[in-house]
Chains A and B, each alone.
Chain A
Amino acid sequence: MILEVDHLSKEYATADGKTVALDKVSLRVRRGAFVAVMGSSCAGKTTLLNMIAGLDHPDSGSILFDGEEITRLPDRRSATLRRRKIGVICQFYNLVPELNVLENIILPTELDGREIDRTWLAEIVERIGLGGLEHAYPAFLSGGQQQRVSVARALFSKPALVLADEPTGNLDYENSAEVIRLLKFIREKYSSTILVATHSNQVAAEADRTVTLSCGKIISDRRRCDVSDC
């Protein structure tokens, strides 16, 4: 197992009192799985992904990532994990407007002080279909192109785990299919594990497993019949 979430709980204080974002959620994911986390808005999908990414801390419960308990990691160690082993993709792309396509893609690797693999960079740019737009800035790209850059950025360091929060939320059918294709490519080539929070049936149909959350609880966990151990 690459990921073991055990009895994870989180409450947020709101104007109306406390809101339960996650209520004793437990989930085990094997290496190389493609898991879709579905559920309505406020079901707890983003909270779950943020906890796994180390961007938020749970009230109780634990997360074992690659054998390491990560819920109480110091910020420094948590940041290192995100640079080296976890790729994060957001619905609103989160590209740095001051950097062009190439620079956005290599940013996490550069932040980590590692050497840039130029061959892999050229390959990934071709694969996301942005050959010729390497030096374009995000403001000059369409939503679909920006999301492809965001996916490429998350995949460039060949992470063990990719966390994608509504990666196709703002995209049309064609661009969504392209994003899914990229996620599947990285999984096949580098055995990366993909965890996608989504509303999209198109994404869920491509996943080996669909976990549905409602009001912070897992209400269903379905595996595709041909993949029983994901």
Chain B
Amino acid sequence: MRRLYLELKNLRFYYFVPLVVLFILLPLTVLASLKQYGPSFPSFSVICQLYFPCFAPWWSLFVLKDYLNSPGKELLFVYKQNRDSLLGKTIILWVLYVLHILVVFFAASFIYDFVWFLFIALIIQSMFLTALAYLLAALLQNTFVPLITTFTYSLIFMLAGGYSPLNIFTQGLSDAGSLNKMPGVLLVAVVFFYVGYQTEKRLYKTSI
């Protein structure tokens, strides 16, 4: 926990970006939507899917930056050896992010029905993008490209993805039936984590 605290402290301004999005930008957008359309669940669903998943890898990527890009990566690798994996860090930070989403959804449950279906979908979408970012980071030994890739993916597929099989986002999400796509997304996310971990074990050492 001490290491996690220091890693997040090292992010400084960047630590607060997801918090600003979750607790300021998103509520403001929801308020604007409420004013214009009333308590419309589909618009809430679109706003949440636009904001939440794309910021899921944010903390992980900024924390991994020191392990992948900094001049101190050699030292960090020697000391961490079998104690710590980048996968472990990524998952812990994803869980932390999900806990923040939970707070927002607890508040949203007073306004909207069906929020928990959306919550489940957002957890899985966040996991998918975190896993994709982790895999790319391990593969490219770089954190900038994964960050850009996950943002671009989210924007393109959320705004113009339609019914593409590559799209993890869903319209509506008002009942269990609208979660049909999610088991597949979850499976792909797990595969990404696994491949990323194998890549981390093989490539990290040789990249020094």
- Decide whether A and B assemble into one complex: no
Question: Which residues of A does B touch, CB under 8 Å?
Answer: none
Please report B residues at the A interface, Cβ cutoff 8 Å.
Answer: none
